[in-house]
Structure 1
């Protein structure tokens, strides 16, 4: 386990102090008497389960939301809007503008004729980027950058405001291993400038790799603040969830409440799904097979066509060439509903764009994919729908005031649970999962893993695309390595397979692909 080399001692300067912070919504406390402090040049991890109150605390610290009780001070004085900069998961950059233009957006330097002084803007931006250890060109359009580089521009934009505190909210949720390493390197450089960093994450391995201290919030209350060097992974898991993780997941009867075993075809002989020389608009000549009862992982860099491959199989994109077989029968779905009818479901990566309808209730979202089975004589059976929704919500332990609550009122992790639960159907043959636990806390992640494994036990073939190599290693039976033009034979997951191994093997595949392209 890696221990940070930049541990701060008690004599470090304290830049932020929050005391007794409380916040209630409709009489229900989201935060109750929370104390929090941050030191200069420190990475302080803020952890908690979905709905624990992390987002509310961040908004209060940032000044976006007022607290009902308590105080927040920067350097012993009342904070100002310029003191704290927050980089959220959804970035606020303008893709068509350059790196420098985004950094200075709304505050551009001007010459004596009141025109934007682009030469000065690019020069200052270059100095800022170099000072943060970022190897980015000020003139480069943001739309040309990787997701990781865009996040770094957002960070540079925040630092340009001379913020004393930088908040990073789930910064690696969509990043590949290479991009994560780039981000970590930049965060360490920012530490050296004396900026205090609050780091919010559900990936606990990152805490031990990057953070100096950790604070855990549970049910709106602070349960501990400790030096990371004095913590163990098991302690983090226990304090976040309130109990030790139950590896067996939710009880069997909870799952069977909606997934009726008698309706599931349990044959696991031969491949449920076979893809042969499949080509789409972002990939070419991809072949692999997924057998019933097996979980196949696909590792690939951003831009390799991983997401587009799953969307093409599920009918959300048009296949240009190649074959798709389901249970030995050639298929070519024109729409995801055709795939769903045949027993193939896709859980998409972008929950806001294609996973849920945020303004609609949890019940309406969960019943959308079950409309056909819930309809009797042209009308929806409301009692059956309510029972179905209750079973789905209990299985994935969706936290909500009621099933009539709009999805947009839920935490990010609970929104992801709704996306996942929406496609859990008893007759499922192939489940295509694109970043299935993105933004989900450690306990919810294990609950989702349990349901995925249960589907595999009942004979379904599972295909998982994930940027989290630890997840692929923990969840999958086999792993394929994908570039835009190749898919390697799947390799079984053994004790020798680590996230570093997956990363190195993937880089080998990329280099081999580039060599073939240039021959």
Structure 2
């Protein structure tokens, strides 16, 4: 069967990064094709190549068997390629009907929009998607799930040959998810090719026929999904060979070396029942002084969101955070920092370093209030503090006044660590602390985490690297779809047990 849309050896480069490396993927008519992979695997880049946002640097894009080059997303849409993104990309102030039929509104004499026909057509289309609403009302007045269904209906209604769905169920209720799956099956029966991008394994096995796994910009696997068990799929995504994972794992040299893992110390920080709709489902996590607690799970499991909730960077629908047994007041990052909780974010460039400032200024940022007296900060105090942390963390820079943007990724990460250590936290939340840095810097950061724990600092460690989790954590909480599905301690802390826990099917 000829492919509707095909990537043949597609490569895409950005400065310093090969995002796609000779990727092959064919979308067939009447087939639902899953595209999976962890952060940085290349999924979003491939979608953007398919939809005309990016132009490939190598390889060939083929549409209906012929070479294709989409200059813009509009060119791709005209070729019958529709995309539904995780974030609804419609016009919230316009009516539901106008959003649904934008650019295709029925018109009467003199080109004037025929509102009666437009509303009737919108009602007819949306009824097939389980959306019962007044199509004259502004889109923004609908719930996120209903808005997502409007976006789906619009994408399909433009005579699509290919429908690309990027995390389409992230904002949907269970009833809406079932409606979506019904639509996907209908599209498949009508001969439309569907590419389904999701981190939710249960969904993949319900609606997808084939799967392509991307890892580090390359295709790690392509084939039928039905014959691929969950554990194998996860091992392909994470890049771990099941035959090489030791049965006893890479246990840390002493699980209770701080007296924390065996319950002798009260929690430095404790989160109870953290809940946010569609994101977190009653998360409980505690970190004792001197303990390193790992958060494991696939992309989208809720690891980053848990850390942000603890530090007050994400609003919650329920739950509470306690520091040394007392409720954290204020519900803000400033309150969390004052209470002794600091977060090293996953994306150091977007949420961490200030590239236009020097190494010195980046390190001192969070500690300035503590260093000030009557609103005046002593330069001598800043210089002394910066010198101490640059020496302790072995930050390689020409001088403290060098722009932080000129440093290597590993040294930028150390600058961020120095910033948060400078405020003397009780608990440090580390989200992917070694991602994107070289092997030498990675080893130094891992050794520093060990050293900090030995000194009594509580650490919450989030990592997609299973080996890093196993070697670095005293115990590991495994998350799936925003909930804790397992806790591993002692000899249970192995790569094999983490993957098996992630892969276990939910009861529903």
TM-score normalised by the chain length of structure 2:
0.61
In 1, Cα distance between the equivalents of 2:231 and 2:9? 28
Note if contact 1:148-1:183 (Cα within 8 Å) is conserved in structure 2.
no
- SS for the counterpart of 2:181 is helix
In 1, Cα distance between the equivalents of 2:354 and 2:141? 32
Q: 2:37 aligns with which of 24, 37, 48?
A: 48
Q: 2:222 aligns with which of 225, 230, 235?
A: 225
1:271-326 CA deviation, whole Å, 9 max, x = no partner? Answer: 965989xxxxx9xxxx999766699x9xxxxxxxxx99x9799498899xx99864
Partner of 1:468: 481
Partner of 1:129: 126
- SS for the counterpart of 1:150 is helix
- SS for the counterpart of 1:398 is coil
Note if contact 1:344-1:429 (Cα within 8 Å) is conserved in structure 2.
no
In 1, Cα distance between the equivalents of 2:331 and 2:339? 12
Note if contact 2:4-2:63 (Cα within 8 Å) is conserved in structure 1.
yes
- SS for the counterpart of 1:138 is coil
Partner of 2:435: 398
In 2, Cα distance between the equivalents of 1:204 and 1:147? 22
Instruction: Report the alpha carbon displacement of residue 198 of structure 1 after superposing the two structures with TM.
Output: 0.8
Partner of 2:100: 103
Note if contact 1:274-1:325 (Cα within 8 Å) is conserved in structure 2.
yes
Structure 2 counterparts to residues 26-425 of structure 1, below 5 A: 26=15, 28-79=17-68, 80-81=75-76, 82=78, 83-132=80-129, 135=132, 137-175=134-172, 177=174, 179-244=176-241, 268-269=265-266, 314=312, 326-329=323-326, 332-333=329-330, 335-344=332-341, 356=351, 360=355, 371=367, 377-379=381-383, 380-381=386-387, 383=390, 386=395, 389-390=413-414, 396-399=433-436
Partner of 1:16: 5
In 2, Cα distance between the equivalents of 1:362 and 1:316? 26
Instruction: Report the alpha carbon displacement of residue 232 of structure 1 after superposing the two structures with TM.
Output: 1.6
In 2, Cα distance between the equivalents of 1:170 and 1:314? 25
- SS for the counterpart of 2:334 is helix
Instruction: Report the alpha carbon displacement of residue 227 of structure 1 after superposing the two structures with TM.
Output: 0.7
Aligned CA-pair RMSD: 5.6
Instruction: Report the alpha carbon displacement of residue 62 of structure 1 after superposing the two structures with TM.
Output: 1.0
Note if contact 2:200-2:481 (Cα within 8 Å) is conserved in structure 1.
no
1:107-166 CA deviation, whole Å, 9 max, x = no partner? Answer: 433321433322222222223233456555533432233333222221222122222111
In 1, Cα distance between the equivalents of 2:84 and 2:166? 6
Instruction: Report the alpha carbon displacement of residue 56 of structure 1 after superposing the two structures with TM.
Output: 1.9
Q: Taking structure 1 as reference, are residues 152 and 288 closer, same or farther at Cα in structure 2, changes over 3 Å only?
A: closer
1:197-240 CA deviation, whole Å, 9 max, x = no partner? Answer: 11122333332222100112233332322111121222222322
1:37-63 CA deviation, whole Å, 9 max, x = no partner? Answer: 111121101122322222222111112
- SS for the counterpart of 1:229 is coil
Q: 1:444 aligns with which of 464, 474, 493?
A: 464
In 2, Cα distance between the equivalents of 1:88 and 1:325? 36
Instruction: Report the alpha carbon displacement of residue 377 of structure 1 after superposing the two structures with TM.
Output: 1.1
Note if contact 1:132-1:189 (Cα within 8 Å) is conserved in structure 2.
no
Partner of 1:487: none
Instruction: Report the alpha carbon displacement of residue 339 of structure 1 after superposing the two structures with TM.
Output: 2.3
- Which residues of structure 1 form unaligned runs of 5+? 1-11, 277-281, 298-306, 403-420, 438-442, 478-494, 504-519
In 2, Cα distance between the equivalents of 1:111 and 1:157? 22
Q: Taking structure 1 as reference, are residues 71 and 427 closer, same or farther at Cα in structure 2, changes over 3 Å only?
A: same
In 1, Cα distance between the equivalents of 2:229 and 2:337? 43
- SS for the counterpart of 2:93 is coil
